[in-house]
Amino acid sequence: MDANPVISTSTSVDSKSSLHKRKNKKLLSSLLFLLPSWILLLIFFIGPILLTFYFAFTNLSLTGSEAQATQFVGFSNFVNMFQDPNFRISVIKTILYLLFSAIIGQQVLGFILALLMKEKNPAFRRVIGIIVIAGWVTPEIVVAFCWVAFLNDSGTLNMILQHMGLKPVAWLFAFPMTSVIIANIWHGTAFSMLVFQAALDDVPKSIEEAAVVDGASRFQVLYRIVLPMIKGSVVTNMILVTLQTLGVFTLIYAMTGGGPGTSTQTLPIFMYNQAFVNYQLGYGTAISLILLLIGVLVSLLYLKSMKVKV
């Protein structure tokens, strides 16, 4: 936003001020053009966030007498939350879901795919890429239906099992968490793969070759040379994938509804249930704040851990 220091020191006083004027004019006009966006952002982005903060401290309700006379209740939503065994369950479920579907599943699988496809025949890359990306471009709700159709009592998987003479399993009830994790991996891996593909393509071949000449094994090249070089992409991807997974609602809700019992009740599902099934909007909002906090903390953690190593 400031004048470029290199230009300003090397020019005369006179042209400097005219440059300033021009810069200022440019700045003003840019701001003018940005104004509509910023107003919209303020209304639809910042506004709701501030409202969320406010509502989290009220007993706002969708129906019933509190809907009419909403009161400020201090921290009682948060006190209730931390005493609610369901909340603890949800946090654990969220962490499990995050760990296995985002960090381990999507990240690692995406990386392996990208690595295996590196410098392969372009036709091969394209075919595999399209197949993987098909999962990613499919809307979440469609992914959910596909997987329900596949894992259902009378679904595709059970049909195959029966043909093989095995007993059908009620997958969504016997292994609900595993089912939603696999569905999310299937859905999201392509994103990580694309990010890693781009990052890996940026690693100059000469460096790798030099390392090989120096006697590094393939694993050493990967671990000592390639990974540190794409660290930035790894962290960016980690943050994006984490935040995306943290907010997954549609997939889980459509596949299992958070059930059976509470076995797939991650925080977004818990929040929805409290806000729109139990009609306690204030409580639901408080949960969403915690969700936000977790997202921020985890992202900071990633950033910090990268900086320490650098």
Interface with another protein by CB under 8 A: which residues? 1-2, 4, 30, 34, 36-38, 40-41, 44-45, 48-49, 51-52, 55, 60-68, 80, 83-86, 153, 170, 172-173, 232, 235-236, 239-240, 243-244, 247, 257-263, 268, 271, 273, 275-281, 284-285, 288-289, 291-292, 295-296, 299, 303
Least distance to another protein from the beta carbon of 274, Å? 9
Q: How far is the CB of 215 from another protein (least distance, A)?
A: 33
110 vs 284, which CB is nearer to another protein? 284
CB distance 275 to 62 below 8 Å: yes
Shortest gap between Cβ of 217 and another protein (angstroms)?
Answer: 32
Q: How far is the CB of 287 from another protein (least distance, A)?
A: 9
Rounded Cα distance between 303 and 306, Å, is 5
User: Residue 264: helix, strand or coil by DSSP?
Assistant: coil
How far is it, in rounded angstroms, from Cα 129 to Cα 117?
Answer: 9
Are 116 and 170 in contact, with CB atoms under 8 Å apart? Answer: no
Quick one: 34 or 130, whose CB is closer to another protein? 34
Nearest-angstrom CA–CA distance, 189 and 177: 18
What tokens were used for 215? 């006697």
Torsion of CA 264, 136, 277, 260, to 10 degrees: -20
- Whole-number Å distance between alpha carbons of 286 and 76: 10
Find the shortest distance in angstroms from Cβ 196 to another protein.
17
Nearest residue (CB) to another protein, 149 versus 277: 277
Region at 117 (left for phi over 0; alpha for psi -120 to 50; beta for the rest) = alpha
**For another protein, the closer CB: 180 or 221:** 180
Distance CA 187, CA 181 (A): 10
In the numeric block, the tokens 């290199």 are attached to 6
Asked whether the CA dihedral 134, 138, 142, 148 is positive or negative, the reply is positive
Q: Which is nearer to another protein, 51 or 131 (CB)?
A: 51
CB of residue 219 to another protein, shortest distance in Å: 29
Nearer to another protein, 217 or 278 (CB): 278
Retrieve residue 13's tokens: 């006083």
Residue (59 or 197) nearer to another protein, CB: 59
**At its nearest, how many Å lie between another protein and the CB of residue 210?**
26
